[in-house]
Structure 1
Amino acid sequence: MGASLSRLTEGDEGPNSIRTGLGDIPESCVASVFMYLSPPEICKLARVNRAFRGAASADFVWESKLPSNYRELWQTLFSECPENLTKQEIYALLCRPVPFDGGSKEVWLEKTTGAVCLTISSRAMSITGIDDRRYWNWIPTDESRFHGVAYLQQIWWFEVDGEVEFCFPEGAYSLFFRVHLGKASKKLGRRVCNFEHIHGWDIKPVRFHLSTSDGQNASRDCYLEESNKNGSEWNKPYSRGAWLKCHVGDFRVNSSDSPTKIKYSMTQIDCTHTKGGLCVDSVFIVPVNLSERRKACSLLERGR
């Protein structure tokens, strides 16, 4: 393979030979091959020569990488149709997180696959008792892409609800809550966590739930801290001091012609005990194959 590529690049050395190289491959042929490559691979190969660079900027190559409903997505975010932009420029702009709905939501394309990802701030959710500072406080933090989280000190009735209506491309999606046990801050430039208010999450599990406008439902019970219950049927608890990626469930979008409404919730409404010491940051919706391949780590552990 290497020898063949070398001969193709350098050409034959015979006296009557016609020197050929990668630059002699028709640009249209290179572009046709690029349609089967990922965007990062296309960008790397664009540096090979002028023909590859021209093929890498072809509109039909980048249109194959964009989601099928990219025009509707663009109008949702920017209002105007991208008439004067190339498809490559549209792809590059959509790969950057774009805030909308008053800055309470962000959407972007995952660079490698072009998959649509969405995140929703806790400020766009309905939180029981959020207006009473005896229970909840809004605290600023640079660990959130929304620069602030809802922090629970103590409450009996814990309920966080939200909904979003969005025109997702066809495919399967996973929904996660991003939360944190304890309150993180910085002292002398170092990250420290205060676990003072954490209690009650080991007594009963938290119920996660989602439903869609076309009748899909998913539920999950999970302890946020180690439980004394042996042989628990519920999922493994999480650890203190780190952002938790709580998988609520999966749903499928069968048509991108109309928006899908998703309702989601995180509740622990057993009033026999109080619970506290929890930060609620946001909800993430990402394609299932992306969450499985990366386990959502690189995407969800980044605050911004």
Structure 2
Amino acid sequence: MAARLSMLPEDCISTVLSLTSPSDASRFMLVSSSLRSAAESDIVWDRFLPSDLPRILSRSHTQLNVSSKKELFFQLCSCIPMDGGIKSFSLDKVSGRKCWILSARALSISLSNEPNHWTWTANSTSIFSEVVELKTISNMEIEGRIQTEDLSTNTTYGAYLIVKVSDHSFGLDAIPCETSISSGTCSVTNTTYLCPLDEQKQQLELLFFMNRRQMMEKRVVEGECQRPSKRGDGWMEIEIGEFFVGEKSEGVKMNLTEVKGQQLKGGLIIEGIEVRPKCEQL
């Protein structure tokens, strides 16, 4: 295929490559020197940039100094601060689809401004200037909202709560919480624990919270109750749910709630909620 393409005029090759994906175009740059120039052209990479990019970048004070559309694309694959630094925007390197992270400040967290319950602090591993750490609370409610017009159409997205667990945490793995995500008339509910499995602690707390645990786990199909998974940036993430973005603009609400909870808990550190494509969709 590469040999056949190299026989075409460069602008024709660029047009063909613009109909593929960022990952495909990147691979063609390595195939041969004759294809490299065509694969790096603005014709290709302009196709991979969001059509509403000027509107999105108007929400950021970051200056992007680039000399080509390809360079602009890959600069946008890094997190760009938005809305005064409480949100972050990026493009998926594989598909070019839009991704967002809503910081803890951009979320609605119950009693988050009460110093007896939460502490706002800096964290060297966070992309945001501050995160929030739970001191102690019984009923926890976290909500994030995003408009589908800020996302890529015809794409299935996942929403993930980004967290860490401090060394002095307590009560986080005793009782599962409920997660829900709603978009338009669609709503999906699941359950999750707030920290990884600790066998020894689980056995002790199971004695005290067996009835509550059984009540929550009956709300979903056996085996669906989740645990946080590790991320490459040193944080963990809890999948809140997924939703599909069509052509219609609408709001999406993402929630994590402990329903009728009476268990004191603490030591959960929240960075925010990430909204990203579930997989490569081309």
Aligned residue for 2:11?
A: 28
Aligned residue for 1:224?
A: 194
Residues 277 and 289 from structure 1, CA distance in 2 versus in 1: closer, same or farther, beyond 3 angstroms? same
Residues 59 and 243 from structure 1, CA distance in 2 versus in 1: closer, same or farther, beyond 3 angstroms? closer
Residues 1-304 of structure 1: pairs in structure 2 closer than 5 A:
25-35=8-18, 37-43=20-26, 45-46=28-29, 48-49=32-33, 51-77=34-60, 87-165=69-147, 166-170=149-153, 171-181=155-165, 183=166, 194=167, 196-202=168-174, 204-212=175-183, 214-224=184-194, 226=197, 228=206, 232=217, 233=222, 234-238=224-228, 243-255=235-247, 258=249, 260-290=250-280
Residues 77 and 180 from structure 1, CA distance in 2 versus in 1: closer, same or farther, beyond 3 angstroms? same
Residues 93 and 216 from structure 1, CA distance in 2 versus in 1: closer, same or farther, beyond 3 angstroms? same
- Return the offset for 1:105: 0.5
Is the 1:206–1:224 contact (alpha carbons within 8 Å) kept by the matching residues of 2? yes
String of CA shifts for 1:240-289, please: whole Å, max 9, x gaps.
9x733211111111116x4x322222111434321112111110101121
Amino acid corresponding to residue 279 of structure 1 in structure 2: I
Is the 1:68–1:169 contact (alpha carbons within 8 Å) kept by the matching residues of 2? no
How many aligned residue pairs are there? 254
Residues 237 and 43 from structure 1, CA distance in 2 versus in 1: closer, same or farther, beyond 3 angstroms? closer
Residues 74 and 139 from structure 1, CA distance in 2 versus in 1: closer, same or farther, beyond 3 angstroms? closer
Equivalent-residue separation in structure 2 for 1:35 and 1:200 (angstroms)? 48
Determine what percentage of the aligned residue pairs are the same residue: 25
1:246 aligns to what SS in structure 2? strand
Q: State the superposition RMSD in angstroms.
A: 3.5
1:64 aligns to what SS in structure 2? helix
- Structure 2: segments with no counterpart, 5+ residues: none
TM-score by length of 2: 0.75
Larger Rg: 1
Is the 2:171–2:263 contact (alpha carbons within 8 Å) kept by the matching residues of 1? no
Amino acid corresponding to residue 199 of structure 1 in structure 2: G
Equivalent-residue separation in structure 1 for 2:107 and 2:13 (angstroms)? 48
Deviates more, 1:161-170 or 1:276-285: 161-170
Amino acid corresponding to residue 60 of structure 1 in structure 2: I
Residues 28 and 215 from structure 1, CA distance in 2 versus in 1: closer, same or farther, beyond 3 angstroms? same
Equivalent-residue separation in structure 1 for 2:84 and 2:67 (angstroms)? 25
Equivalent-residue separation in structure 1 for 2:186 and 2:143 (angstroms)? 17
Equivalent-residue separation in structure 2 for 1:288 and 1:237 (angstroms)? 18
Equivalent-residue separation in structure 2 for 1:220 and 1:44 (angstroms)? 39
- Return the offset for 1:236: 4.1
String of CA shifts for 1:140-191, please: whole Å, max 9, x gaps.
112211143211121122112222234222121111111122x2xxxxxxxx
Is the 1:197–1:277 contact (alpha carbons within 8 Å) kept by the matching residues of 2? yes
Amino acid corresponding to residue 100 of structure 2 in structure 1: L
Equivalent-residue separation in structure 1 for 2:19 and 2:142 (angstroms)? 43
Is the 1:154–1:197 contact (alpha carbons within 8 Å) kept by the matching residues of 2? no
1:141 aligns to what SS in structure 2? coil
- Return the offset for 1:44: 5.6
String of CA shifts for 1:109-129, please: whole Å, max 9, x gaps.
112221111100001112222
